[in-house]
Chains A and B, each alone.
Chain A
Amino acid sequence: MSEIAWIVLAAALMTYLTRAGGHLVLSRFSRIHPRVEAGLNAVPAAVFTTLIAPAAMNASTAEALALVAAALIGLWGGMFPVFLGGGLVLIVGRYLLG
């Protein structure tokens, strides 16, 4: 096997450990503290924000417009309109603004 294949398999194992590990650790506790629960409820918003942050920081004008458009469409519609609308603003923006 190539070195790349070994690295990929190691990465796969680590990824599975993250997906199974959180539950394995938390299921040892019979009762979940309200603060832990509040923290867990914040997980999706916190993580998705961090995935967006670098792209927002380094955004060109067209890219920033696309992110704002996606967020505004998200106030009203689901994933698919967000994706189409954001993508369209991006393509048109890059075409017009370079």
Chain B
Amino acid sequence: MIVASAPFGVLFGALAVQTGFTVGEAVLMSATVFAGASQMVGIELFGKSIPAWMIVLSVFAVNFRHVLYSAAFGRRTAHWSVPRKAFAFFFLADPQFAESERKVEAGETIGFVWYMGLALPMYGLWVLNTWLGALFGRLIPDTHALGLDYLLPIYFVGMLMGFRKRPLWLPVVIASGAAAMVAHSWVGSPWHVSIGATAGILLAAFMPVNAAARTDAASRKGITGDPT
């Protein structure tokens, strides 16, 4: 996972400098925002003379999914003190949330030391890679041939597949995917994230609860799913 996020840190640093950030500003953004996808959206908008409030709003829209991570994560860490939670929320990025949810699915509780043991190296490397990327960005020969510009979607596919055993996974993926594509064409980026996710979440919430619970229980017992 750390290996997976490393190219994005370097890429972000390199692209940020090319859109007019200083090295210090690129590092500042990674150190304070710490949310890769939204940082990429942010620097893309900086390069297009878009009003400041619109850039901040776009970062907020891309990161709005963290509201949902936060709500889910808060349930898992009810045993933590308030300052610990307040500190931990800063680091609640996509991979951090995914790993925490996976730990809960494995039947374990999330400890503060385990959480920070994952968060701090990820954070340190993210900032360090941004700095390296900003310093040496212009030396990366051909980001297209190396596939660096398309590693983010591949990374998200891997994340998505990791959750495929959850109830209603496929219907949620189809609903979110369709809504996101329509919203991307008609409303535009970055709103496809919020609109698409809302469609999938509403679908899951409004499916008959008992049916969902049965599917969940059945798959746990191995009745449905794998026919072998």
A residues adjacent to B (C-beta < 8 A): 2-12, 14-16, 18-27, 32, 34-36, 38-57, 63, 66-67, 70-71, 74-75, 78-80, 82-83, 86-87, 90-91, 94-95
**Interface segment, B31-39, B108-116, B130-138?**
B31-39
B36 to chain A: closest CB distance in Å?
10
Question: Which residues of chain A are near B22, meaning CB under 8 Å?
Answer: 2, 4
Distance in angstroms between the alpha carbons of A25 and B74 in the assembled complex: 10
Residues of A within 8 A of B68 (CB): 22, 40, 43, 47
Closest CB in chain B relative to A18 CB, distance in Å: 4
Contact A49 B89, CB 8 Å, known A67-B154, A83-B154, A87-B151: no
Query: Given the complex of chains A and B, what is the CA–CA distance between A90 and B154 in angstroms?
Result: 9
Interchain nearest-CB distance for B141 vs A (Å)? 13
Instruction: Write out the residue numbers on chain A whose beta carbons fall within 8 Å of the beta carbon of B181.
Output: 53-54, 57
Taking the closest CB of chain B, its distance from the CB of A8, in whole angstroms, is: 5
Known pairs A19-B89, A42-B200, A45-B173; A8 contacts B60 (CB<8 A): no
Taking each of A22, A51, A75, which has the highest tally of chain B beta carbons within 10 Å of its own beta carbon? A51
Check A95 against B145 for contact (C-beta < 8 Å): yes
Q: Which residues of A contact B199 (CB under 8 A)?
A: 46
Least CB distance, A30 to chain B, in whole angstroms = 11
B163 and A53 form a contact (CB under 8 A):
no
Check: B72 CB closer than 8 A to any chain A CB.
Answer: yes
Q: Once the chains bind, are B59 and A48 in contact (CB under 8 Å)?
A: no
> Which residues of B are found within 8 Å of A44, using beta-carbon distances?
97-98, 101, 159-160, 163, 166
Main secondary structure of the interface of A (DSSP, over half): helix
State the Cβ distance, A66 to closest chain B Cβ, in Å.
6
One of B3, B66, B195, B200 near A80 (C-beta < 8 A):
B3
B193 within 8 A of A: yes
Please determine whether B196 and A50 come into contact, CB atoms closer than 8 angstroms.
yes
Q: How far is the CA of A87 from the CA of B143 in the complex (A)?
A: 12
A47–B162 alpha-carbon span in the complex (Å)? 13
User: Does B129 belong to the interface (CB within 8 Å)?
Assistant: no
